[in-house]
Amino acid sequence: MDIKGKTAVVTGGAAGIGAAIAEEIVNRGGKVVIVDIDIDDAQSLAQRLGDNASAMVCDVSTGANIDAMADQVWTNTGGVDIVFANAGAGATGPLLDVGEDLFDFVFTLNVKSVWLTCKAFANRMIQEDRQGYLCVTGSEHSLGLQHAGSGLYTGTKHAVLGMADVLRRELPDTIGISVLCPGLTSTRFAEGRRHSRLPPDPPQMEAFAKAVMAKGMPAADVAKATLDAIAREDFFIVTHANARAAAEKRWQEIDAAFAHQAPPEGDVDKYDVTRVIGEVSNEFK
């Protein structure tokens, strides 16, 4: 879908990748509603971007807020064409050490809010028989990249890819979907819990993370690649060439496991669940 003349909403649109997407939308002749928990940053960005941008406050970690926000955005704009379910944050710490509060925070923000944002807007598009597009923000962690200390975050980004992959089979033909899988991007990601009640990382750890993030790809480059890919309606949006090696390594391990443990012998389709569901559906007609 080409953004020109379209109306978009970007959650987590006040900073980082979301802000760069909002700016690129306006640069390409679209309108954008910047939705963020940080209304000051959202408003100053909207002001800088001019008449084709507006700001709305919403903490997307609560479902009722998302539905109310979607209602208000829909009423104010007359309908949305493209939705960027982008708000998200990191969570660091070994899986055997981190607490349930961090799990709940990061799965609610990175997974549940993405699902509910898609649900709120896609159902409104369907009700009004309107063409639309969804873009959910995953990560290179969705593709197979991982490192020690990122377990909760990696889990959320696999979940985002999994839901997007199923959604593309469930959505009507009138609604497209992409999953944005960026790598290291220079944003405020290292301060990702700044709006939560959870304590920040210890100062030295946060300083280290900020120094790493500062070496990332400019968010503007990620935003340009994202809108180019959405114009082509590509499902996977990849921005960092280095992430390919992680995806290949993941596939090679899977391939080797199948070769050793479940080689293609005999009737390989016998237990193919897609085929079996089709067969049983026919029996149930």
Minimum CB distance to ligand NAD, residue 106 (Å): 9
How many positions of this chain bind ligand NAD (CB under 6 A)? 30
Q: Does 37 bind ligand NAD (CB under 6 A)?
A: yes
Q: Of the candidates 28, 119, 168, 195, which one interacts with ligand NAD according to CB under 6 A?
A: 195
Q: Of the candidates 1, 9, 10, 12, which one interacts with ligand NAD according to CB under 6 A?
A: 12
Q: Find the farthest-apart pair of alpha carbons in the chain and give their distance in angstroms, rounded.
A: 65
> Cα 15 to the chain's mean position, in Å?
15
Write out the catalytic residue numbers: 153
In terms of CB distance, is 2 or 103 closer to ligand NAD? 103
Residue 238's DSSP bridge partners are 181
In terms of CB distance, is 161 or 171 closer to ligand NAD? 161
Minimum CB distance to ligand NAD, residue 258 (Å): 29
What is the rounded CA–CA span in Å between residue 243 and residue 253? 16
Query: Exposed, middle or buried, 19 (CB in 10 Å: 0-12/13-18/19+)?
Result: buried
> Cα 3 to the chain's mean position, in Å?
18
Q: In what order do the strands lie in the sheet with 175-181?
A: 53-57, 31-36, 7-11, 82-85, 132-137, 175-181, 236-238
Q: Of the candidates 36, 152, 154, 163, which one interacts with ligand NAD according to CB under 6 A?
A: 36
Q: Of the candidates 18, 144, 151, 155, which one interacts with ligand NAD according to CB under 6 A?
A: 18
Binding-residue pattern over the window 141 to 180 for ligand NAD, x denoting contact by CB under 6 A: ----------------------------------------
Minimum CB distance to ligand NAD, residue 38 (Å): 4
Residue type, 31: K
Binding-residue pattern over the window 59 to 98 for ligand NAD, x denoting contact by CB under 6 A: xxx------------------------xxxx---------
Rounded alpha-carbon distances, angstroms, from residue 1 to 11, 178, 221, 248, 250? 19, 11, 19, 29, 31
What is the rounded CA–CA span in Å between residue 124 and residue 62? 19
Give the tokens for residue 109. Answer: 């923000």
In terms of CB distance, is 2 or 41 closer to ligand NAD? 41
Residues that bind ligand NAD (CB under 6 A): 11-12, 14-18, 36-38, 58-61, 86-89, 109, 137, 139, 182, 184-185, 187-189, 192, 195, 216
